[in-house]
Each structure stands twice: as C-alpha cells, then as structure tokens.
Structure 1
Amino acid sequence: MARQPKKVTDKTVMDASCPSPSPSRFAAGEDPVKRGQILDGAKRVFMKLGFDAASMNDVTREAGVSKGTIYVYFDSKEDLFAALIEREKGRLTETLRDILADSHDVEDGLRRFGIAFARQILVGDMIPAMRTVLGVVDRMPGLCRRFLSAAPANARTVLEAFLRRKMAEGALKSVDEELAARQFIDLATGTYFKLKLFNEIKTVPDQTEIDRVVDSAIYVFMAAYGPDRTT
C-alpha cells in the first residue's frame, strides 16, 4: 500500500517557521541591558530622594522591573548604590582617559583634563553623589572607601599615568606622580569643588571663567614641575 503524504496543517507551518525559543543569552543577573535599566532607575531615585529615603520598591517602580528581578542583580540597597557609584566613576574615568590619550602636549592634556573635570563638578552628578555618601559615612564607611578608591576606576590614576608618560619623555620633571596629580586636580578644581559641595555656587561659571582657573592651575603646576630650562 502506497504511503500517504503527511497532511500539512496550519500548526505544522507554525512549528516549522517559529522554532522553540532558545535559552536566554545571559545567566541570571548577567544581562547588561537589564542591569543598566535598573541602575538608570536607581540613579533617578537616589538623586531625587537621597539614599535614606529611597527604597528598593521606589527603584523597581522607576526602573520598570519586578522586585524579584532587582534582587537577582543586587543584594541590597547599599549594593545597588555602590554599583551606581562605580558605574558613574567608570564613565568619567573613560572620558578622561580618552582625553589624555589624544593629548600629545603636556599642557594641552592638562588643560583638557582640568576643564572636563571642573565641568563634571559644576554640572555633573559628582557633588550630589558625594553629598549622599557623606550622609551615610558613619554607618557605611566601606561605601565611602569605594567612592574614593584609587582603583580600578579613578580620575587621579588616569592623570598619574599621563604624567608618568610625560616624565619619561622629558616634558616634566621626574617627581612623585601621585602627589603631582593630586596637586593639579586641587589647583584646577579645588575651589569649585568646595563651593559646589556646600551649595555656595548658585550659577555655573561661564566657560571663560573656567578656562581662566584651569590655565592658572597649569601655570602654577608647570612652574613647579616643568622641565628645567637651562641655557
């Protein structure tokens, strides 16, 4: 008896054209898009409410995820806030690293670094984040240490690497690059940092004023650390 051809049905077509979904590309808690979504929501909540007033429920609503999902990625509110701080530090660090990588002249690199860092203080999220950290310093000293950590993502260590290169090239004196980096950052941004931290700056200085402060910092820095000019 001849074998009858298999009857084609709508279900057969659907099964052939729509294969079973494959497992997720990422293990639980490893999806970078979902993690970023949670951190973005947390940033808005912490900036609006502060650390103590914010809750994980607030973050879940703002981020548009379930409470179960958020705890897959972060163990606690403290862990979430620390991860947010690390991400924001990392973004600033990469920006500054790119600036210095493109700067072949020492004064040009210092100028571009100083202006970018000053603007981060004046219009970025650094100061609001630092105020939040200072508010919990007695209860969460570990979080404060992470905020000020030198590694792996820190603007000062990026500047130190740049200074070491310039010392090797003879564009700067061979000195303690960590101390030199701290001094330049303080020269270029110290006044703005303190004034902004204590809410004494009501309006952002214009670019001409920022340039004047940074150029003055470079003048002082190079007077101390520039190469000896012998005749």
Structure 2
Amino acid sequence: MIDRQRVRIGRKFAQVSEGAKEIFLRDGFSGTSVDDIAAAARVSKATLYSYFADKRLMFEEAMQNERQRLEDAILFDIPADAAPTQAIPALTRQIAEWLVAPDSVRLYRVHVAEAARFPDVARNYHAALHKVLRDRLRERLDHWVARGELRIEDTTLAAEQLVRLAGAEIHDMATLDGGHAPDHDQIARIADSAAQLFLKAHGVSGRNEQSLGAAR
C-alpha cells in the first residue's frame, strides 16, 4: 500500500503519474530513470520530487492507477440472455484478445519482473486480475448453472480453467516471443478450441449439442 503521507497531490500530479506509468511499462522499474520520467511527464526533476519522495513511490502509484483502470474495465460484451453455446465462444475470444493486447502484456510483464521487489504490488495486481476475469466470468457461469444450461460443481475453478484455456500458448507467445503477438487466426483457433472443450466438459447433453450444431 502506498504511504500517502509521502505523496503530495498537486496541480501536475496526474501529469507526473501518467509520465511515470508510460516509462515504467516500457522499461520496468530497474530500467527507468527519474530523468526519463521527468522527460515523459514534461516536468523538472524538482517537480517530480515535490510529489514523490523517491522512485519506488512513483512506481507504486503508477501501478495502483493501472490496477484501478483494470478493475474498472468491461472486458465481456455478451448479451445477458445469451445461451452458453453462443456466449462462451464469444467470451473465450474476448478473453484471448485481451490477454495478448499490448497494454495487457506490458502490465503483466512489469508485475512479473518486479514481483520480488514489490510483492504487495504484484499481489494486488493478481487480485485485480481475478476480479476482472475469473470473478466476472464466474457470475456468468452461475447464471447458466441456475438455468440448467451448464453442469458445474465449482464455478470459481471452472472460470479460472476457462481463462487458462483461452490463453493457452498465445499468452506465452505475446509475453515471451520477442513481442511478436499472435495473429487473429491463432487467437481464434485457441479461443474456439477452448470453448468447445469447456462445453463438452460442462454442457448439458442434447441441448448443447443441438445448439453447437446450429452455431456451426
């Protein structure tokens, strides 16, 4: 948690925070200099230090702002009354596309790189990911289970598994393969396979088979 007694809010605070975020996401904590942040924020180093006592506080503030932006995001755009056989393939594509988006990849990389140095920051980011992906997906699964359209004993675990399936291979490609993001066809192949596997495991026989056939 950020020590607010060591952070001063002022007229250029948002400008400084945005500049810090831009450089930290590009270069990480160790690779970032205060000079770089000052240049990105278009302020002097004296102005930076008037808001933050040190670079660690700048990093913590920048990551907290990004975490809040993540929690406020709407990742799933699916009609509330959609059947799982139509909704889950769309959900897995949306999850996969978000996981490999440049902003998502940069945020993930910097938290992994700095987890040992900033364990609380990494822990809070992990919790935010659960909130925006797993927990919101679990709400959808609970709805379909209540309607008798899916059979799932543990919807929290199932939601986590669906996220992992949707990001299989392509997430590693985006984060580890020299910045070469998977293309649309690769994303679609993985996401559609994830949806089919999930529906085979948790779908209600008969009803879902007919719906899947119609969807094709």
Query: In the alignment, what sits opposite 2:127?
Result: 149
Q: 1:35 to 1:177 in 2, by over 3 A?
A: farther
Inter-partner Cα distance in structure 1 for 2:178 and 2:145: 37
Deviation at 1:85, TM superposition (A): 3.3
Q: Deviations over 1:11-43 (max 9, x none)?
A: xxxxxxxxxxxxxxxxx7398xx6654443223
Judging changes above 3 Å, is the alpha-carbon distance between structure 1 residues 228 and 122 closer, same or farther for their aligned structure 2 residues? same
**TM-score, normalised on structure 2?**
0.75
Give 2:188's aligned residue: 211
Cα RMSD, aligned residues only: 3.1
> 1:145, CA displacement in angstroms?
0.6
User: Percent same amino acid at aligned positions?
Assistant: 21
Partner of 1:40 in structure 2?
18
**Whole-angstrom distance in 2 between the partners of 1:151 and 1:110:** 19
- State the 1:123 CA deviation: 2.9
* SS of corresponding position for 1:137: coil
Structure 1 residue matching 2:169: 3-state secondary structure = helix
Instruction: Output the CA distance in 1 between the equivalents of 2:115 and 2:198.
Output: 33
Q: Report what 2:109 is aligned to.
A: 131
> Displacement, 1:199?
1.5
TM-superposed deviation, 1:171: 1.4
Q: Which residue of 2 aligns with 1:58?
A: 36
Residue in structure 1 matching 2:155, options 177, 180, 192: 177
User: How far did 1:59 drift?
Assistant: 2.8
Cα distance in 1 for residues equivalent to 2:81 and 2:90: 8
**Higher relative contact order structure (alpha carbons within 8 Å, sequence separation ≥ 6):** 2
> Take 1:203 and 1:79, find their aligned partners in 2: how far apart are those partners?
28
SS of the residue 2:9 aligns to:
coil
Say if 2:13 is the partner of 1:49.
Answer: no
The answer for the alignment partner of 1:195 in structure 2 is 173
Q: Is the 8 A contact 2:20 2:58 kept in 1?
A: no
How many angstroms apart in 2 are the aligned matches of 1:131 and 1:179? 24
Show the counterpart of 1:24. none
Residue 48 of structure 1: how far off its partner (Å) = 2.7
C-alpha displacement at 1:137, in angstroms?
1.9
1:227 Cα offset (Å): 1.8
Find out whether 1:85 has 2:63 as its counterpart: no
Letter in 1 for 2:191: V
Q: 1:186 is matched with which residue? A: 164
TM-score, normalised to structure 1's length? 0.70
Among 196, 199, 202, the residue aligned to 1:222: 199
How many residues matched? 196
Q: 2:84 aligns with which of 92, 100, 106?
A: 106
